[in-house]
Structure 1
Amino acid sequence: MRMVTKSGQVYEQTCIHVPLEMKQQAKEAGINMAETFRNALAAEIKNRNHPAQTQQDQNGGAASDRGAV
């Protein structure tokens, strides 16, 4: 089933399975699981499409030159 937001973003429903304890902990912590999943999936897609850029982002925005003399 698809849903379109007022901004025009199209969403499609999906289902994932997580351990019960993890779901309970997320609920207790007030974690929005759908938003968390979307953010993690976007980061994984970015990492797989641009692994060098992702590494630079993790190093503070520049390629690391530690050890260079």
Structure 2
Amino acid sequence: MSAKELKASERVRGSGEADAFGKKQIRGSALFGPKEKDVLEVVLQEDGSYTLEEAKHLMELYLNKEVI
């Protein structure tokens, strides 16, 4: 396999998989504000790994949960 083909196969393989981050990494991100980070502290587990989309989804579910 040539170097060009190898790079193309890596791109195909890598494009389907999203990067996953730990709770500490996500909370340290500049993508979230202080209030959002407080919510992430509650919804994310210490030993879990999440994509940014998963973290945002969990945060939305928590914020839109019906109060009883």
TM-score bracket, shorter-length normalisation: under 0.3
TM-score scaled to structure 1, two decimals? Answer: 0.28
TM-score scaled to structure 2, two decimals? Answer: 0.28
Please tell me whether Structure 1 or Structure 2 has the larger radius of gyration of its CA atoms.
Answer: 1
